[in-house]
Structures are given as C-alpha cells and as structure tokens.
Amino acid sequence: MKTKSIYLLFAFLIISGMLSAQKWQEIKSVEDVCRAYPDEMKRMLGEFNLDYPGLEKVKAAQEKGNLTEACEYLLSYYKNSENALHLRKSQPAATGQTNAAADTILENVFVIQNVRGQVPWGDDGHRDWYYKGPNNDREWAWLSNRHSQISHVLGVYFETGNPKYARHIDLFLRDFIIKSMPYPGVKSSTSVWRGLEVAARAKVWSRIFYGLLNSEYISPATQLLMLSSLPDHAHYNRNFHAGSNWLTMEISALATVATNFPEYKKSEEWLAYSIETMIESMKEQVYPDGVQAELTSHYHIVSLSNFELFKQICDHANRQLPDYYLKNLELMQNYLAQTVRPNGTGILNNDGDLDYNRNRILDAAAAYNRHDWEFIASNGQSGKAPEKGPSYFFPWAGQLISRSGFDADAHWSFFDVGPWGSGHQHSDKLHISIAAYGRDLLVDAGRFAYTGEVAEKFRGYARGSQGHNVLLIDGKGQEPGPRKTEKPLSEKHRLITGKYDYAWGAFSKFIDVEGECTHTRRLYYDRGNFWVVVDEVATDRPRKVEALWHWHPDCEVHLNGNNVSTQNKRGNLQIIPAGNQKWEVNFVKGQENPEIQGWYSKEYNKYKPNVASVYTTKVESDSKFVWVLFPSEKVETGVRAEIISESSKEIKVKVINERNEERVVTVPL
C-alpha cells in the first residue's frame, strides 16, 4: 500500500510538472513566479548586492525568508531608481494602430537574413527555439535567438501604442527564459547559448526592461525572470567570450549589464574587466591605419559599432576611456569615409554584404566635426573637400582605393594587396573591383551564406579564388595567406600622385600546384581616364592561366574579338588585352556543373547569376599580360590598346579611344 502511494505521488508530481510547463502563460504575478520557480528566484536574489543603497527592504525581506515580499520590493526599487535614465521611456497612449511587419512577428514568422520562416510550437507548449528555418540553417536559429524581432516590436509599440505589441513581448520573453532554464554555465555553440546570441539579448533586454518598466502590459513575473537571467548572460560573456569582432559584441554586452544593473554583486568587476579587455582588444584588432584586422568591410562596421557602443556605455557610467581608444574610433570611421563608393555603398569583400554606408558616414561626420567626410559621403554637395585624395592607400590593410573625384559619377576601384585577414577570409589576393558613373561593373562574388542549403552549394565558390577577379593557375586558386601583418607595406608597393595611382602585390601559393609559380599584379590608374593592369606569371614550367573578370548582374556584357565590353545605357567598361597573347574567351553565367561559376551575392542569402568572362591561355615560361580597363558613360566602340615599349623597369601602353585620341601611360615594373 505504501509503495502504491509513493508511486501515485510520483506520478502526480510528474503530471503537475507537465501541467506547470504547459501553463507558463499563467505565471504572471510575483507570487506566481515565486511559487513556480522558488529556487530560481532565490538564486536571483543571491546575484544582488543587497547592501546596495535602496535595497534595504529587499534584504530585510530576504533575511525573514519572505521570498515574494523580497521580489516585490526589488521591482519597486527599480521603478523608483535612477538607473539607465537614457533607456526609460514614457508609455504611449493606447491605440488600435497596427504595423504589418510587427504583426507578422506576432505570428512567430521571422525573416532572418532574407529567409522567412515560422517558428513552430513544441509539445511542451513552448516555441521551438532550436528551429533552423526552412533551409535547415543553423545561422537562422542563432540569429532568431538574438531577439532582434522583439526589438522591432518594441519600437512599433512606442510608435503605435497598441497594447498587443507589449503583451507579445511579455509572453515572448517569459516563454524563452522559462524554456532556456537552467543556465548551463559552459561555453556553447547551441542555438540558445552561443556568445553572439547571449550578447545581443543582453542589449535588447536592457532596452525592454527599462523601456517597459512602468508598462501595465509587462507582467512582474517576466520582469523578475529577466533579472534572474541577465546575470547568466553576463557570466557567459565574461567567462566564455571569443576574440576579434565577436569580442567587441560580447564585451560590450557585459558592460551593458554592468552599467544598467549596478546592483548585481559583480557589476563593478564586470565593468572593470570590460574596459581593460576592450582596450586591449582594440590594440589587437585595429591596425594603425584604422582597419579592423579581419580586413572585411562588413565586419569592420560590426566591430566599429560595438567599439562606439562601448564608448557610449562608458559615457553613461562616467568612465573615461584613454585617448588611444578615442583616436582609433576616429581612424575606423575615417576608413569607412575614404573607401565609400560614389553611390554610398562600401567595399564588398571577404565575408561581407554590400553595406550602404552613406548615412553612417554623415552621422559620424557630424559627431566628429569632420567636414571632409561629409564632402566625400555627399558627393561634394556639402562639407569641405579633403586636403588629401581623392585616392587613398591603407598600408597595413594593403588596400588601394582609386577615384577620379568625389562626384556621383566618379570612377572608383578597390585593389587588394594586403594580408589574408584574421577572420572571414576569402582567397582573393590581388582582386580588383570597379565602379563608374554610378554603376558597379567588376565585382566580388560576395558571401552567399555560412550554413544551410545555400552555403552547401555556394560556400566554396564564395571563399575560393574562382569567385574573384584574379588568376587561376592550372585551374587552381590561392591557398590561405598570412592572417595578419606585423608591419605596413613599404612605399615601394604604392604611389599616389595627382595624375595617377599605382600599387602592386604578389602571391605564390596555389592549391596543389606543383613546382614554383608566382603571380605579380600591378594596377595603374590614370586618373579620370582608365586602369592598366599588368599581370606577371613567373613559373618553372608550362602552365594554363585563366584570368577571371566578374561583372555585376545588371551589366549587359558582350564579346568583340578578345575585348569584353558592357552595353549599358549608362556606366560602361571595356576589358582590352594589349599585346600578342592568344586568349580563348568564354562567358560563364549561372553555372552549377561541373563547378560553380558566374554567381553574385550582394547580401546574405541573396544571390543571382552574373557573367564571368574567363580568359584562358597557355604559357611555356615567364609571361606578362597587360589589360586596359576602359570606363565610359555611354557605350564606346573602337577603343584600342597597344604596348609601345617594354623594359625591365617599365612598360609603356598607348590607348586610343573611338575619336582617335591617344594617351600613353608608363607603368613602373
């Protein structure tokens, strides 16, 4: 009989637990959460310094063993404290206004990196926080756990005042926090407990906690659950953070919790650690020319944004950062300003998207009182012309930006002769991108995706040399190169004058290529006229050489003999081989077999076919190839290029346009 009673009790406890899990929506009051999760609430109180001014009543109630009363006093303290005044908001008047994008989120439909998916409900009554989206992409699951979707809903609530948006945030957070308990306390790559997601949530939750602190639509249970989980988020970012741009995101999140919630026992230690770590990370991450060491424009912005956020956090906490830190912030902003295309987008390179940077630069120009940045970003419509320019070379990054000027129709090019990069690298050394007359012409392939079906198909192409404007040797691309450099490129590698720009670099490690082979590429930009590219292949045996030139998908591309040219209504480019080398020229577009070729991705999970013009030849020994890249507003025909002299020191090239106007340039060797 006793055994049966124990069995019935055990069964009752199991069933009660299941019902409790299924009825998490009903846990709303302080009493509810203390009854459902007493150990969690006790643990939460243990995270606080109850000797902190204002927490006297919380401490007294805790010492009496009155958990509910202690938690009620804690929430009362926050409502009346002066913490995070910059995050507190007046509650909007209730209305029935709606927002279509937010309403979609309320249906658990999230758009993550351009992929739309609906998060399903599990048998336990919670959302499936491990759902990887329709493409089975773990990135989809990771990013959905950063809670940017409820950050959007928060903004819509304050715009509309519709209570349903605040109520959704309340239920969303309660669901997530209860489902994610207990905090595992170990370094993880799971959908819920990975560093970047932990960091992002800490920032979003801070805005939600204080922004909705006095909202009648956020339950006390949800507020307490947030206070119980935020120290776990801080612990993770303090103890398991990564390096490079990940570190900037994770450590800025640690500082966010430390400064917005100074009542936690470890807040002062978290902030001190954050400041020390962030300063050291900046020294490690940012080269003296202001370029983040991954050498990826997109992730440069990520790091810069978090370095800037960290400064704002320290400003709110009245913590002064060293001059070194502030100077580097300006250098990083300067890089964005001096590399921006005339159409306002930045460099597309390595694992990046084609980011629109104009507004970001204009905001920085105002903040730093930099009228030269304003001039560049506004195409010369406002601000003051820079004392130097229009072209710039970044000697640590090994990147040359060439321009004819700062106007909207200006020529623009990017030439990469630097190290491989400390992360998110592509095998694209000596790649060239070109834009002119408001149009992108020669392009980088982009990044496509990191995981899932798109990545399985395109990731190798995106990272490999075959997606870039480089040479393939015997059908093979480049091996990884040096990740970082200890010194800038010497002046012999580049020269910028009023009339022309010049830079060169070399690469000699190709995948599974036998023997010795070095590719040296020299780029000469005759300002306002054209580019000359000189490719030298030094080899100890015969080779097949393929020169790849990838066009933007919007370009209409034609072949005339060995010349490849666009026939766009506005903004055109011709590739004209000079010399007597025999080339076989083929166009490849949207190819999947036998290998991927002719695809372009301007942002994650977005891609389309583009034309790759592939020049193929065979060489018996050391060889030199000369290309003229001739831009024009309208379609020009009959443009010719020829080598008129060549020595060990220089090569002279004559270019004749359709009006029979000649121009001779001398490219140093």
pLDDT at res. 243: 87
pLDDT at res. 481: 86
Question: In the numeric block, which tokens belong to residue 447?
Answer: 């990044």
Helix and strand totals (H; E) in the chain: 18, 24
pLDDT tens for each residue of 130-150: 999 999 999 999 999 999 999
Report the sign of the C-alpha dihedral through residues 474, 477, 480, 484, in that order: positive
pLDDT at res. 381: 98
Above 80 in pLDDT, residue 13? no
Q: How far is the CA of 469 from the CAs of 196, 440, 477, in angstroms?
A: 33, 14, 11
Quick check: 629 and 434 in contact, CB under 8 A? yes
pLDDT tens for each residue of 82-115: 999 999 999 999 999 999 999 999 999 999 999 9
Query: What residue spans of 181-241 are helical by DSSP H?
Result: 195-211, 220-239
Which helix (H) or strand (E) segment holds residue 520: the answer is strand 517-526
Q: How confident is the model at residue 585 (pLDDT cuts 50, 70, 90)?
A: very high
Q: Work out the number of other CB atoms within 10 angstroms of the CB of residue 342.
A: 25
pLDDT at res. 651: 97
**Which residues touch 161 (CB under 8 Å, ≥6 apart)?**
92, 93, 94, 95, 97
Which helix (H) or strand (E) segment holds residue 441: the answer is strand 439-442
pLDDT at res. 57: 98
Residue position matching structure tokens 């490129």: 489
Per-residue pLDDT averaged across 581-585, rounded?
Answer: 96
Above 80 in pLDDT, residue 12? no
Query: Which of these, 422, 431, 425, lies nearest to 463 by C-alpha position?
Result: 425
pLDDT at res. 156: 98
The domain spans of the chain are 241-382, 389-668
pLDDT at res. 153: 98
Q: Which percentage of the chain shows pLDDT scores above 90?
A: 94
Q: Which of 18-22, 69-73, 592-596 has the lowest mean pLDDT?
A: 18-22
pLDDT at res. 312: 94
Quick check: 502 and 526 in contact, CB under 8 A? no
pLDDT tens for each residue of 607-648: 999 999 999 999 999 999 999 999 999 999 989 999 999 999
Q: Which of 2-11, 26-35, 301-310 has the lowest mean pLDDT?
A: 2-11
pLDDT at res. 244: 83
Residue type, 4: K
Q: Which percentage of the chain shows pLDDT scores above 70?
A: 97
Residue position matching structure tokens 């002719």: 598
pLDDT at res. 269: 97
Rounded mean pLDDT of the chain? Answer: 95
Above 50 in pLDDT, residue 212? yes
Per-residue pLDDT averaged across 269-281, rounded?
Answer: 95
Q: Which of 11-25, 300-314, 434-448 has the lowest mean pLDDT?
A: 11-25
Please confirm whether the linkage preceding 390 is cis (ω < 30° from 0): yes
Quick check: 339 and 358 in contact, CB under 8 A? no
Query: Which of these, 343, 337, 339, 344, lies nearest to 384 by C-alpha position?
Result: 337
Q: Does domain 241-382 have CATH number 3.40.50.300?
A: no
Out of 2.40.50.90, 2.70.150.10, 1.10.10.410, 2.70.98.70, the CATH code matching 389-668 is: 2.70.98.70
pLDDT at res. 1: 43
Above 80 in pLDDT, residue 548? yes
